Amino acid sequence: MNKKIILLVILMLISTFSVGCDKKEASDYKLYYIDIDVTKLMPQDYKATSTTNKEEIVKKLLTCLREKPNIKEARRTIPNEVKINKISLSSGLLVIDFNKKYRKLSTTEEVLCRAGIVRTLLQVNGINKVKFTINGDELLDLSGEVIGYMDEESFVDNPGEQINSIMTEQITLYFANKNGNRLEKETRVVHYSSNISKEKLIMEQLLKGPDKKGALSTIPKGTQLINISISDGVCYVNLDETFKNQNYEITEPVVIYSIVNSLSQIDEVSKVQISINGDTSGNYRYSYALSKMYAPDYSLIASKKED
């Protein structure tokens, strides 16, 4: 009898230990699938056995995204006809090479497919950025520009909110030229969640800085957008005090109008007011009163000769 009790206890301990190991070895991920109407991403919880081989994890997650999800309202993220030629991972940079069928995806489907894959794979420890290629060639956006490596900022969303429908927008941003005395115009195609307002989208892209070679960011690195809103034709931009830490090689009007001109592309915006920590007293540097509402000034844009 005692032997049976001891054996039962041992079996229970083994069972408990095994469950504990399973929990320890399992990793939780969210697989991002596309809804059946092809308008948004839908997350599904997934538990994978842990492994130190990152490429194996990536392959497993990609296989899952090729399969039909358990969610009735969702469909597979990677269509059957789209094949993966190879993947390569080096120093946190993951490259996924697809066959030419990837180019046949509609604009909306392609953006959602890309967002779903990138959001899923960035959860893997050690993967910092993801790039897509097509038979070895760079993937291009709607304007013909190379998309390159993507991270969590490539698909703009409101923090803490579930991603809604993905939208594609071509926006115009204004940065400083290399001399800091004129504005450089940059056109950028961005993919973002409909949860985010266009004014916030523009400011967040402006805060990221220029992609264009030779252009300079007009807003100091680390500046935070506290809030932004539009009322009666005026866009109110509230930045934190880091905005005061300016590069004085960039002139005052270039800084002010990089923000004003960028936001004025929104139909509802005719003027812009900038505040620092909600304070509109005093001046920005010397000449520009924070209490004033500024209309756009396109005379500061550099000509092609000046470029």
| Tens of each residue's pLDDT in the chain, 307 residues | 444 444 343 334 333 333 332 333 345 899 999 999 887 889 999 987 767 789 999 999 999 999 999 988 999 999 999 999 999 999 999 999 999 999 999 887 898 899 999 999 999 999 999 999 999 999 988 767 788 999 887 776 554 444 556 777 889 999 999 999 999 999 998 887 777 889 999 999 999 999 888 999 999 999 999 999 999 999 999 999 999 888 889 999 999 999 999 999 999 999 999 999 999 998 998 889 999 999 999 999 988 666 5
Nearest residue to 239 (alpha-carbon basis) of 190, 279, 270? 279
Same domain flag for 131 and 180: no
Give the number of C-alpha atoms closer than 13 A to the C-alpha of residue 230, restricted to the C-beta side: 16
Q: Which domain holds residue 199?
A: 166-300
Q: Tell me the whole-structure pTM to 2 decimals.
A: 0.58
Residue where one domain finishes, among candidates 152, 182, 198: 152
Q: Which of 120, 152, 184 is the last residue of a domain?
A: 152
**Residue 97 · residue 86 · CB < 8 Å:** yes
Are 189 and 142 members of one domain? no
Same domain, 186 and 274: yes
d(CA 96, CA 80): 16
142 inside domain: yes
Question: Is 306 a domain residue?
Answer: no
Given 118, 152, 186, which residue is the final one in a domain? 152
CA distance 238 to 191: 24
Number of H helices, E strands in the chain: 5, 15
Confirm whether 3 is domain-assigned: no
Assess contact for 117 and 102: CB atoms under 8 A: no
Give backbone dihedrals phi and psi of 187, rounded to 5 degrees, phi first: -95, 135
Dihedral sign for Cα 188, 193, 199, 200, please. Answer: negative
**Is residue 11 in a domain?**
no
**Residue 207 identity:** L
Number of compact structural domains in the chain: 2
CA distance 304 to 68: 51
